[in-house]
Amino acid sequence: MEDNVKAMEAIFEQKIANDEKIEPKDWMPEKYRKTHIRQISQHAHSEIVGMLPEGNWITRAPSLRRKVALLAKVQDEAGHGLYLYSACETLGISREEMYEQLHSGKAKYSSIFNYPTLTWADMGAIGWLVDGAAIINQVPLCNTSFGPYARAMVRVCKEESFHQRQGYEIMMTLCNGTQEQKDMAQDALNRWWWPSLMMFGPNDADSTHTEQSMKWKLKRKTNDELRQQFIDQTVPQADILGLEVPDPELKYNHEKGHYDFGDINWDEFWQVVKGHGPCNKERIRDRKNAWENGEWVREAANAYAEKQAERKAS
């Protein structure tokens, strides 16, 4: 038995080394399976919870065009959640189990979605910064070692690019508008900048999973590498908008070819991750309500599927 496991481990390691995809039916170390369930389910939860802050502004969009774009984006996030829950189910966990973990607080979702959306400019800042960060974090995942996750990410990233562009266009419109509109855009940047940097997770030195996730090619770049890439890409965009990034220590370092930036408030990050952010309770309350109010839809869909299966079998 021992030899057999060793042989399977060797095949698994060789596949990872050859950049081959690990498929659901392939043998995999239990820890590999467990960390993928952890990351993919939390990624899916982030997509679904992420619909709430923006959903708050659908009925208050300033024009039909803006309403249509925001509606399309929020619907896309639901689809991203479904791809990811489905990818995660191939690892042997049910949708109900994943939802129970979210509702009970056992599972996390991205800290960023625990902040309030106070003005219309927040829809611009979220698209520009949050989806911009998500793209940087998700593009490497198109090349992650677990097949279903990598394939789900290809379509997600295509749709995220639209999300980021529509957000940046909102910011551009406000910055080219009245002084009051430009002030609203600057206020949104002030509130969303640092929480967007926190999205990439703790510094590599404090990251529980990064080292092993890099070895398994679950992660292709580290938290700090992706955070730096986001800052380097986004600061010039803020310059084009004529907005000031709220970091007095932000300065381009010509030697390194990157921006140096100030210290992130990790106490705030962990407070939010542990459930004490501005909107954590509201977000989980709304998710639980949606799950309970949607029970009849799940029952009807399951009943229809069973009827169809009976018809096919008869």
Closer Cβ to ligand 3HC, 40 or 121, answer by number: 40
Least distance (Å) between residue 84 CB and ligand 3HC: 9
Q: What is the DSSP string of 188-245?
A: HHHHHHHHHHHTT-S-GGG-SSHHHHHHTTS-SS-HHHHHHHHHHHHHHHHHHHT---
Q: How many Cα neighbours within 13 Å face the side chain of 154?
A: 5
CB of 21 to ligand 3HC, least distance (A): 17
Q: Which is nearer to ligand 3HC, 167 or 182 (CB)?
A: 167
- Cα separation, 257 vs 7, in Å, equals 45
Cβ-based nearer residue to ligand 3HC, 157 or 235? 157
Using the minimum distance from each CB to ligand 3HC, give the nearer residue, 94 or 208: 208
Cβ 231 vs Cβ 261: under 8 Å: yes
Q: In DSSP terms, which residues pair with 22 in a beta bridge?
A: 146
Q: Which residues contact 156 (CB under 8 A, 6 or more apart)?
A: 80, 83, 84, 138
| Triad 178, 182, 186: Cα angle to 5° | 165
CB of 266 to ligand 3HC, least distance (A): 11
DSSP label at residue 141:
G
67 or 209: whose CB is closer to ligand 3HC?
Answer: 209
Coil, strand or helix at 260: strand
Phi, psi of 33 (to 5 degrees): -65, -45
Residues that bind ligand 3HC (CB under 6 A): 38-39, 42-43, 46-47, 50, 77, 80, 108, 110-111, 130-131, 134, 137, 160, 198-202, 207-210, 213, 223, 273
Smallest gap, in angstroms, from Cβ of residue 196 to ligand 3HC? Answer: 10
Element housing 4 (H / E): helix 2-17
39/186 with CB nearer ligand 3HC? 39
- Cβ nearer to ligand 3HC, comparing 137 with 228: 137
Task: Provide the minimum distance between the beta carbon of 126 and ligand 3HC in the complex, in angstroms, as a whole number.
Answer: 7
- Could you give the count of Cα atoms lying within 13 Å of 292 in the half-sphere of its Cβ? 7
Which own/partner pairs from 278-284 qualify as long-range (CB within 8 Å, at least 24 positions apart)?
Answer: 278/114, 278/115, 278/116, 279/53, 279/113, 279/114, 279/115, 279/116, 280/114, 282/52, 283/49, 283/52, 283/109, 283/113, 283/114, 284/102, 284/103, 284/105
CB of 265 to ligand 3HC, least distance (A): 13
Of 42 and 117, the one with the shorter C-beta distance to ligand 3HC is 42
We find the least distance from the C-beta atom of residue 133 to ligand 3HC, in angstroms, to be 7
Min CB(313)–ligand 3HC separation in Å: 40
